[in-house]
Structure formats: structure tokens, C-alpha cells
Amino acid sequence: MSDDLINTALEECRERMHKAVEHARADFSAVRTGRATPALVERLKVDYFGSEVPLQQLAGFQIPEPRVLVISPYDKGAMKAIEKAITSSDLGVNPASDGSVIRLVFPELTQERRKEFVKVVKHRAEEGRVAVRNVRRATRHELEGLEKSGELSSDELDRAEKELERLTHELVAEIDRLLASKEKELLEI
């Protein structure tokens, strides 16, 4: 019975930690590296007929050249709203529209700008690590509550906490690997 409680708690913890890692991965993909990628704009919120809609629901994306992103709105009436969302974002590019598609040309990143992006990515990695640790803390409290209520022995709690630590270290290391990869990509010229 107690093994089931531990396994359930650890499984829920694992899922929540993986979500935190995936969130960090998505945050990293939204940081630009001098190359065009749909991840830079997919989640950009567009004011479409009074509601905030992610750009990926309003348009398709193509990359005809490494630094050019072409956005093809499904509804031509959304062009102005999409352009406005891009202009007000922190991308630092101006949209060029020909009436049917919007082109974004990403300039080469300066070394200074690359270093700024590395700082942003490091900050997002730390947010991911904190999220994983918060899940660990919540799970530890849950397990300690089970011990206090008599559903777990102290030995079972110790085993569960060791597994929890192992899992935490594994997922923090995954965030660190993602960070190192993104940092390398950003500093590549």
C-alpha cells in the first residue's frame, strides 16, 4: 500500500518536473539566434477580433532563407493585427507586408546582442531550475505528511526522498544541457 502511495507521488512529481523542463525548452526556442525559426513568433499573442490569439493559430510559417521568416495569415483581415503584434514584441524586427504575406528579415546579431541573449537564456534556465525545485519541495511535503499520518515508515520516506533527489538532479542537469546547447548556438558566428 505504501509503495503505491510513494509511486503515485513520485510519478506526479516526475510529470510536473518534465513540464517545467519542457517549458524551459520552449522559452529557449523563443530566443533568437540570428536564424529565422517559427518558434520566435508562434506564441506571440495577436489581438484578433477582441481576443488574444497565438499567432500559430492565425498563420502558417515558411523559411525561404536562413534569416527570413514568411508568415502567411489564413485570414487576410488579420494582417494589420499580426503586424502590430510583431512590431510591439521584443523581436527587434520590422514586418514587411505585400498584402498577402508578412516577411521578417532577421539581421545578423552583434556580439553585444548575443551576450544579452545569453543572459536572458541563463535567467530562463534558472527559472526552470527553480520550478523543478518547487515541485520537489511540494512532493517532499506531501511525503512527509504521509509519514506523519502513519501511511509511510521513516525508512520508506528516506527511500522516497532519495529517489526524489535523484529525479531532481537528473532534470536540473537536463535544463543545464539545454542551456549549454542554446548558449553555444547563440555565440556561434
43-64 pLDDT, tens digit per residue, is: 788 998 888 989 889 999 998 9
Ramachandran region, residue 61 (left: φ > 0; alpha: ψ -120 to 50; beta: rest): beta
Q: Structural domains in the chain?
A: 2-29+110-187 (1.10.132.20), 38-105 (3.30.1360.40)
CA distance 95 to 83: 6
CA distance 162 to 178: 25
Band of residue 72 on the pLDDT scale cut at 50, 70, 90: very high
CA distance 129 to 17: 9
Which tens digit of pLDDT belongs to each residue from 118-140?
Answer: 898 999 999 999 999 999 999 99
Return the percentage of the chain with pLDDT > 70, whole number.
97
Q: Where are the alpha helices (DSSP H) in the chain?
A: 2-29, 79-88, 111-148, 154-187
CA distance 11 to 187: 37
CA distance 103 to 100: 10
Residue 189 has a pLDDT of 61
Beta bridge partners of 79: none
Band of residue 29 on the pLDDT scale cut at 50, 70, 90: confident
Beta bridge partners of 48: 51
Place of cell 535544463: 175
Which tens digit of pLDDT belongs to each residue from 2-23?
Answer: 788 888 999 999 999 999 999 9
- pTM: predicted TM-score of the whole model, two decimal places: 0.72
Taking the CA atoms of residue 87, residue 93, residue 98 and residue 102 in that order, the dihedral angle to the nearest 10 degrees is -80
The more confidently predicted of residues 145 and 2 is: 145
